[in-house]
C-alpha cells in the first residue's frame, strides 16, 4: 500500500465492490481532473470485499501512483462502512466522495471544489439528467421527497454520492447501517452550509448496478432513525412525549365517549368495549413517557461520558 506524503489538500474517497473494468479509466479521469488544480491530493480506494479482480487492479494502480492508498476490507461490509473508513483515514482538508462505476464524472470535481470557495461546507451533486431506468428514477424521486419532508433539507438528489465536504465536518459524523446517503442531512444538523449543483451522470459501462428497489424499505427505516437521532438526539422526551400525549388524549376522548353513551343509552360502562380501548391507550401513553425518560437518561450519559457538547461553534472572533 502506498503512503501519501506531505500535506494533502484534497482526499478522494471511492468505495469499490467488483468494479475491475472501471478502475483504470476511472483513475485516469481522476488524475486528468485533479492535476490542473495544482493542489496536493490523494485517492483512497476502499475495496469492500470484491470477489473479482478489483483488488489486483488497485494494487497495480497503487504501484504506479504514490498518491493512491488502498484500504482492503476483510469481507463485504457495505458502502456506508467503506465511506466511513475512507473518511476516517483521509488526510485532506476537503473530502470528495464518488462511486467507482464511472456514472459519476470526475471532471465535475473541480466545479464542486470551486463552489466550496464561496463559503459552503458541503457541496452536493445533483444528477439532473440521470441515465438510469424509469423505475430507479421513480424510486429515487420518491425517496428524495420523503427525505425533504422529514429533514427539511431542500436537496433534490440525496442519493448522489458525488459530493465535496470539509473534512472536519465529515469526521464528526458517525455512520452506521446504510446512512451514507444522509451525510448532507447529518451535516445540516451540525450547522453546515450546504448547496447543490448539477453534475453529469453517465450510463453504466461495465457490470450491473449493486442496488435496486429492495433498498426502499431500508431508506424508510433509516429516515425514522434520522428523525429520532437528528432532531431529538438531545431531547428525546419531546419525541416520546408527543406520542404519549396523542395516545393519552385519544384515551381520554374514548373515556368521554363511554360516559356520554352511558347517559344517553343507559349502557353500563363496564360492558362498553370502548372502555377497554380507553384504558389501553392511557397505559400505552404512560409507557411512552417512561421510554422518553429512559431515552433522556441514556442521552445524558452519552453526552457526559464522551464529553460531547450539544452545540457546534463555527468560528470564534476576537480582536485582541
Residues 134-143 pLDDT 10s: 777 777 777 7
Sign of CA dihedral 104, 106, 107, 109: positive
| 201 phi-psi bin (left φ>0, alpha ψ -120 to 50, beta other) | beta
The C-alpha atoms of residue 205 and residue 99 are separated, in whole angstroms, by 13
Nearest to 21 by CA among 211, 200, 204: 204
pLDDT tens-place string over residues 174-218: 777 677 888 888 888 788 899 999 999 888 877 666 555 556 666
What's the pTM?
0.74
Q: Does residue 162 register a pLDDT over 90?
A: yes
Q: Give the pLDDT band of residue 1 (cuts 50, 70, 90).
A: very low
**Residue found by looking up cell 363511554 in the block:** 258
pLDDT tens-place string over residues 36-88: 999 999 999 999 999 999 999 999 999 999 999 999 999 998 888 899 999 99
Please identify, in words, the CATH class of the domain defined by 10-231: alpha beta
- The gap from C-alpha 159 to its chain's centroid, in whole angstroms, comes to 9
Amino acid at each position: 500500500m502506498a503512503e501519501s506524503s506531505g500535506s494533502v489538500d484534497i482526499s478522494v474517497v471511492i468505495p469499490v465492490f467488483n468494479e475491475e473494468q472501471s478502475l483504470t479509466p476511472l483513475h485516469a479521469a481522476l488524475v486528468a481532473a485533479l492535476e490542473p488544480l495544482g493542489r496536493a491530493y490523494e485517492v483512497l480506494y476502499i475495496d469492500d470485499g470484491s470477489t473479482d479482480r478489483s483488488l489486483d487492479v488497485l494494487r497495480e494502480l497503487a504501484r504506479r501512483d504514490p498518491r493512491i492508498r488502498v484500504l482492503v476490507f476483510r469481507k463485504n461490509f457495505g458502502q456506508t462502512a467503506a465511506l466511513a473508513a475512507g473518511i476516517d483515514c483521509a488526510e485532506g482538508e476537503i473530502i470528495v466522495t464518488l462511486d467507482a462505476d464511472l456514472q459519476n464524472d470526475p471532471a465535475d470535481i473541480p466545479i464542486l471544489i470551486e463552489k466550496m470557495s464561496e463559503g459552503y461546507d458541503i457541496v452536493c451533486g445533483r444528477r439532473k439528467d440521470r441515465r438510469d431506468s424509469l423505475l430507479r428514477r421513480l424510486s429515487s424521486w420518491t425517496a428524495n421527497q420523503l427525505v425533504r419532508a422529514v429533514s427539511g433539507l431542500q436537496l433534490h438528489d440525496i442519493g448522489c454520492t458525488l459530493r465535496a465536504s470539509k473534512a472536519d465536518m465529515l469526521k464528526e459524523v458517525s455512520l452506521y447501517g446504510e446512512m451514507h446517503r444522509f451525510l448532507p442531512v447529518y451535516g445540516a444538523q451540525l450547522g453546515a452550509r450546504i448547496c447543490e449543483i448539477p453534475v453529469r451522470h453517465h450510463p453504466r459501462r461495465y457490470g450491473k448496478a449493486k442496488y435496486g428497489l429492495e433498498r426502499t424499505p431500508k431508506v424508510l427505516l433509516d429516515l425514522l432513525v434520522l428523525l429520532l437521532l437528528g432532531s431529538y438526539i438531545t431531547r428525546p422526551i419531546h419525541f416520546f412525549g408527543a406520542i404519549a400525549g396523542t395516545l393519552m388524549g385519544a384515551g381520554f376522548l374514548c373515556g368521554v365517549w363511554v360516559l356520554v353513551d352511558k347517559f344517553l343509552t343507559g349502557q353500563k360502562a363496564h360492558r362498553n368495549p370502548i372502555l377497554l380501548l380507553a384504558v389501553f391507550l392511557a397505559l400505552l401513553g404512560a409507557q411512552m413517557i417512561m421510554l422518553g425518560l429512559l431515552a433522556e437518561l441514556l442521552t445524558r450519559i452519552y453526552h457526559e461520558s464522551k464529553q460531547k457538547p450539544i452545540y457546534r461553534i463555527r468560528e470564534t472572533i476576537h480582536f485582541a
